[in-house]
């Protein structure tokens, strides 16, 4: 089905966040090691990025490596880091050709040096691009991010830089690693799991959730378009009642 034809271009989410899940199960279903699934997952990253650009989505955030993922078998962690470094290095020119800016959220200081350097290089080389921002959540967990923001604010209060009474939503937003990035209107999780897994807990307060059974390596542009169409069928009330929304109150 051609989902793209049905999309209302006046109602595109400006930020879509994705929990890419199911690489390991996909690989095992094909009789391969888990890393095989992660390798194929990169193809889905390319596809979804292309789709996001076609839709003129401004921000696409992908949950690529959580703080909990360090506990996976060493071989898988090393393989994932290696894949990340290789992919980023290979894709920089294409990101530039397509006007895509690379950004990260999370505790990137905790990543291996090679990965940090490759990221730093790609972030600097694509910083001027304005079409779509690809945000990789790396060594990310929302609880870490919220605690980190709390420490930043506490330090400022302690130093007398700010007064406790000035702590509000806006100040908290500025202290998160997503500073400057609007909250996602749409959160997608693949592979049939219905969990948030410590992802963007502050930022998804009013996000629409879309869950699909499709495993990440099978998730293609059409699946993204289908998710956006589904999003467009929702009524976003932000705590109001339906009548208030339709009367534009």
**Would you please indicate which residues are annotated as catalytic (active-site) residues?**
21, 69
Task: Out of 4, 32, 42, 209, point to the residue binding ligand FPP (CB under 6 A).
Answer: 42
What is d(CA 89, CA 32) in angstroms, rounded to the nearest whole number?
26
Q: Would you count residue 62 as binding ligand FPP (CB under 6 A)?
A: yes
Q: At 18, which helix (H) or strand (E)?
A: strand 15-19
Q: Would you count residue 106 as binding ligand FPP (CB under 6 A)?
A: no
Structural contact between residues 67 and 141, judged by C-beta atoms closer than 8 angstroms:
yes
Task: Kindly tell me the sign of the dihedral angle through the C-alpha atoms of 106, 132, 56, 182.
Answer: positive
What is d(CA 155, CA 162) in angstroms, rounded to the nearest whole number?
9
Segment near ligand FPP (CB under 6 A), from 7-15, 48-56, 79-87, 124-132?
A: 79-87
Specify the 3-state DSSP secondary structure of 208.
Answer: strand
Structural contact between residues 184 and 205, judged by C-beta atoms closer than 8 angstroms:
no
101 vs 149 by CB, closer to ligand FPP: 101
Q: Would you count residue 21 as binding ligand FPP (CB under 6 A)?
A: yes
Q: Would you count residue 135 as binding ligand FPP (CB under 6 A)?
A: no
Binding mask 136-165 for ligand FPP (x = CB under 6 A): x-----------------------------
Minimum distance from CB of 1 to ligand FPP (Å)? 25
Pairing of strands 100-105, 208-211: unpaired
Minimum distance from CB of 27 to ligand FPP (Å)? 8
Task: Out of 12, 15, 17, 38, point to the residue binding ligand FPP (CB under 6 A).
Answer: 38
175 vs 217 by CB, closer to ligand FPP: 217
14 vs 69 by CB, closer to ligand FPP: 69
93 vs 155 by CB, closer to ligand FPP: 93
Segment near ligand FPP (CB under 6 A), from 37-45, 94-102, 171-179, 227-235?
A: 37-45
β-bridge mates for residue 237, sequence order: none
What is d(CA 236, CA 37) in angstroms, rounded to the nearest whole number?
35
Q: Would you count residue 22 as binding ligand FPP (CB under 6 A)?
A: yes
What is d(CA 221, CA 47) in angstroms, rounded to the nearest whole number?
6
Pairing of strands 59-66, 132-140: parallel
Structural contact between residues 153 and 175, judged by C-beta atoms closer than 8 angstroms:
yes
Question: Which residues here bind ligand FPP, judged by CB under 6 A?
Answer: 20-25, 34, 38, 41-42, 45, 62, 64, 69, 83-84, 87-88, 136, 191
């Amino acid at each position: 089905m051609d989902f793209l034809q049905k999309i209302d271009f006046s109602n595109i989410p400006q930020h879509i966040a994705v929990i890419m899940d199911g690489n390991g199960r996909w690989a095992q279903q094909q009789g391969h090691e888990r890393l095989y699934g992660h390798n194929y997952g990169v193809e889905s990253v390319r596809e979804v990025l292309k789709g996001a650009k076609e839709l003129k989505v401004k921000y696409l955030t992908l949950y690529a490596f959580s703080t909990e993922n360090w506990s996976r078998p060493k071989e898988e962690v090393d393989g994932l880091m290696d894949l990340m470094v290789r992919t980023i290095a290979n894709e920089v020119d294409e990101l530039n050709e397509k006007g895509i800016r690379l950004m990260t959220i999370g505790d990137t200081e905790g990543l291996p040096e090679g990965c940090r350097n490759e990221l730093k290089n790609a972030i600097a080389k694509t910083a001027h691009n304005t079409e779509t921002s690809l945000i990789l959540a790396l060594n990310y967990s929302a609880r870490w991010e919220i605690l980190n923001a709390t420490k930043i604010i506490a330090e400022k209060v302690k130093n007398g830089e700010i007064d406790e009474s000035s702590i509000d939503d806006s100040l908290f937003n500025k202290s998160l690693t997503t500073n400057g990035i609007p909250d996602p209107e749409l959160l997608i999780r693949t592979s049939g799991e219905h969990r948030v897994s410590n992802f963007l807990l502050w930022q998804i307060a009013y996000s629409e959730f879309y869950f699909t059974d499709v495993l990440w390596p099978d998730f293609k542009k059409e699946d993204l378009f289908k998710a956006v169409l589904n999003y467009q069928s929702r009524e976003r009330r932000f705590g109001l009642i339906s009548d208030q929304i339709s009367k534009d109150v």
